[in-house]
Amino acid sequence: MILRIFRRAGCGILLALLASISPAQQFQEFPLPAEAYPIDLTVGADGAIWFTNGTPTLGRITVSGSVHLFPIPTLNPAQAIVAGPDGNLWATQLTSSRIGRFDYSGGLTEFPLPAPDQPHEIDVGPDGALWFTTLRDTVGRISTAGQIAIFALPTFGAHPYGIARGADGALWFTEDDQNKIGRITVTGEVTEYVLPNSNSAPEFIVMGPDGAMWFTEHDGNRIGRITYAGSITEFVLTSNSRPGSIILGGDKNLWFGEQGTNSISRITASGVVTRFFVPTSSAGISGLTWGPDNAIWFGEVLTLKIGRLGPIAGTPAVPMLTPLAGALLVISLAAAGFLFLRR
């Protein structure tokens, strides 16, 4: 009887330990070379994470943490980056008003915009072209062959920011200075939707697991959701959380960075929020991407690091243990084995 009790207790300890393995215990941080401030991240066709960093270099980090910086020969820093449908990496070059096409050896072709519009964020559109926002109240389109079209927005001072393709065959973008969410078709027709709360400063946007578009409200400290019919729902976060980059995870949840709380946060489609606090304080969380290792990769622009959180529960990955949990697990398994031999 006593042996059976201990056996059950050992199994209980083992199950409790496994249940306690959470993403909060699985942060890794990789220092970057001096003056490399990670801004935006994307996963390349080579399985590595590529990032822009505010310098005339393009960064690459493997899932094992090996970092390499490729010099940009024209010395024009890249701002936002995305893997294109043509097997290249595409980046906005804000200060030089160009769009850059990079191959995986660091080779570069630059396409100047017709006017100094200062391109900001970029994504792949439903038409196979690259679509981008600019700081001059326009949204642009560039084909993989380099043909550029610019579409003016109806609202002066809109300051379009994030952009993402929707399941409706259009592109959706934020207007952080005018408190609106915009929609643009591939032919350039624009519709705008005003947010319920003023001064929300919507920034980044992505299509969610429910097919709606989800976005961050940096100054409003909320996560927003808009349907294709224009119906808006908002989820209130902690005061001064300042949410930024938002992505759809492989676990079918939305993940976003909070500069104010120094956390990588998860929100479900029903609005439940969970925070995982970055080990380094005041990290300055920037761009996020979902890695091929089922982890969240993110920039730490104030501490010159690339961070990793994961593997994320609900995705196929090997769990990681803290040293204490690992030691207790070994003891638990040893005790279970001993009791088995005494049977």
Cα separations in angstroms, 257 against 93, 244, 297, 298, 303: 23, 5, 11, 8, 15
Q: How many residues in the chain? A: 343
CB 301, CB 307: distance < 8 Å: no
CB 30, CB 38: distance < 8 Å: no
Question: What's residue 315's pLDDT?
Answer: 63
The set of residues, in sequence order, having a beta carbon less than 8 Å from that of 10 and lying 6+ positions away, is: 332, 335, 336, 339
Structure token pair of residue 290: 């979902």
Q: How far apart are the C-alpha atoms of 248 and 99, rounded to whole Å?
A: 25
Cα separations in angstroms, 22 against 265, 270, 310: 13, 21, 8
Q: Please tell me the pTM assigned to this model.
A: 0.85
Q: How far apart are the C-alpha atoms of 224 and 165, rounded to whole Å?
A: 16
Compute how many other C-beta atoms are within 10 angstroms of the C-beta atom of residue 184. Answer: 23
Question: What's residue 209's pLDDT?
Answer: 97
Q: How far apart are the C-alpha atoms of 233 and 252, rounded to whole Å?
A: 19
> Taking the CA of residue 267 as centre, how many other CA atoms within 13 Å lie in the half-sphere pointing to its CB?
24
Domain ranges in the chain are 1-21+321-343, 23-319
Question: What's residue 313's pLDDT?
Answer: 79
Q: How far apart are the C-alpha atoms of 73 and 108, rounded to whole Å?
A: 8
Query: 47 φ, ψ to 5°?
Result: 85, 0
Question: Class assignment of domain 23-319?
Answer: mainly beta
Over its length of 343 residues, how does the chain's per-residue pLDDT go in tens digits? 333 332 333 444 333 333 333 444 599 999 999 889 999 999 999 999 999 999 999 999 999 999 999 999 999 999 999 999 999 999 999 999 999 999 999 899 999 999 999 999 999 999 999 999 999 999 999 999 999 999 999 999 999 999 999 999 999 999 999 999 999 999 999 999 999 999 999 999 999 999 999 999 999 999 999 999 999 999 999 999 999 999 999 999 999 999 999 999 999 999 999 999 999 999 999 999 999 999 999 999 999 999 999 999 776 433 333 333 344 333 343 443 433 334 4
Among candidate residues 123, 48, 59, the one with its CA nearest the CA of residue 85: 123
Among candidate residues 28, 23, 106, the one with its CA nearest the CA of residue 65: 28
